[in-house]
Amino acid sequence: MAWHDSSWADHGVSGPGVKDHVKVYSARELSGHVTICLSPGQEVGCNAAANDQGASHTWTISC
């Protein structure tokens, strides 16, 4: 799905010390720049700057 992302959602589990934010990167293996970062429970249906830009993602403590 690299470079074909058009919407995003963070449905992860949240709690103290839990990596519950999602960072999406423009290149594989968590390299490149962050195209979008989601907070717990956040859903994004459209983001022109991030559209078709994501190639990898990771869980993190914050954006």
The sheet carrying 21-27 orders its strands as 31-38, 21-27, 56-60
Nearest to 40 by CA among 17, 62, 7, 25: 62
Range of the domain at 19: 8-60
DSSP 49: T
In a domain, 22, yes or no: yes
In a domain, 1, yes or no: no
pLDDT in single tens digits along all 63 residues of the chain = 799 999 999 999 999 999 999 999 999 999 999 999 999 999 999 999 999 999 999 999 999
| Domain count along the chain | 1
Nearest to 60 by CA among 50, 34, 49, 43: 34
In a domain, 3, yes or no: no
What pTM was estimated for this model as a whole? 0.92
In a domain, 13, yes or no: yes
Q: Give the pLDDT confidence score for residue 1 in this predicted structure.
A: 74
User: Which residue's structure tokens are 């968590």?
Assistant: 30
